[in-house]
Amino acid sequence: MNTSERLIQSTRELLWERGYVGTSPKAILERAGAGQGSMYHHFKGKPDLALTAIRRTAEEMRATAEGVLGGPGTPYERIEAYLRRERDVLRGCPVGRLTMDPDVIASDELRAPVDETLDWLRERIAGIVEEGKEQGGFAPDLDGEEVAAAVVATVQGGYVLARASGSPAAFDAGVRGLLSLLGSRTA
């Protein structure tokens, strides 16, 4: 892996672990095994490198989600598969956690990939719910966008509960709770 790529990967890891405000160029360089000069040769500065890293992470998360949501099964099963997919729960969501970062929220450019990713996810799930309504799997009075927002929020909030308690149990409980409500609205 070349230096530029190592810088991006190190930044992705640190943004996930410590957020934007908590990540210093120095820490990135140490992890990447590079000197100051390399970073400022390949990138304009910390925001530029972070933007590249965030875009990469966002792309990857989208691909992972699509792998489950676009898989086989009924609409309910695909949403269940998304909710139950294996996660490193205590690490939190590498995209969602950035919404708690003041510098990310203050910058339209840094916030954009976060917004686009979560928006895409909600739309994707909303479409699946609508599909389920047509097929008769989901109750026709459900609103796809609303249920999708609840699904994504349960995941994002599940990370919060898990990290607060230091255990993935609360995440899993929330998922089971939502599925128990959703499952009863299926045929």
Partner DNA sequence: GTCTATATGACGATAGAC
Partner DNA sequence: GTCTATCGTCATATAGAC
List residues near DNA by CB under 7 A.
2-4, 23-27, 33-38, 40-42, 45-47
CA 55 – CA 16 distance, rounded (Å): 13
Q: Are 173 and 181 in contact (CB under 8 A)?
A: no
Provide, rounded to whole angstroms, the least separation between the CB of residue 54 and DNA. 15
Q: Look up residue 77 and give its two tokens.
A: 């099963």
For DNA, give the closer residue by CB, 56 or 185: 56
Residue 110 neighbours by CB distance under 10 Å = 19
CA 127 – CA 3 distance, rounded (Å): 41
For its own copies, give the closer residue by CB, 59 or 119: 119
Q: Which does 38 bind (CB under 5 to 8 A by kind): its own copies, DNA, none?
A: DNA
Provide, rounded to whole angstroms, the least separation between the CB of residue 10 and its own copies. 16
Residue 168 belongs to what H/E stretch? none
For DNA, give the closer residue by CB, 12 or 122: 12
Q: Which does 77 bind (CB under 5 to 8 A by kind): DNA, its own copies, none?
A: none
For DNA, give the closer residue by CB, 46 or 185: 46
DSSP 67-123: HHHTSSS-HHHHHHHHHHS---GGG--TTGGGGG-HHHHH-HHHHHHHHHHHHHHHH
CA 155 – CA 83 distance, rounded (Å): 7
Q: Which does 19 bind (CB under 5 to 8 A by kind): its own copies, DNA, none?
A: its own copies
CA 69 – CA 80 distance, rounded (Å): 9
Binding site for its own copies (CB under 8 A): 17-19, 21-22, 92-93, 96-97, 99-103, 105, 111, 114-115, 118-119, 122, 139, 141-143, 145-161, 163-166, 170-171, 173-178, 180-182, 184-185
Provide, rounded to whole angstroms, the least separation between the CB of residue 109 and its own copies. 13
For DNA, give the closer residue by CB, 43 or 171: 43
Q: Is 142 helix (H, G, I), strand (E, B) or coil?
A: coil
Provide, rounded to whole angstroms, the least separation between the CB of residue 41 and its own copies. 28
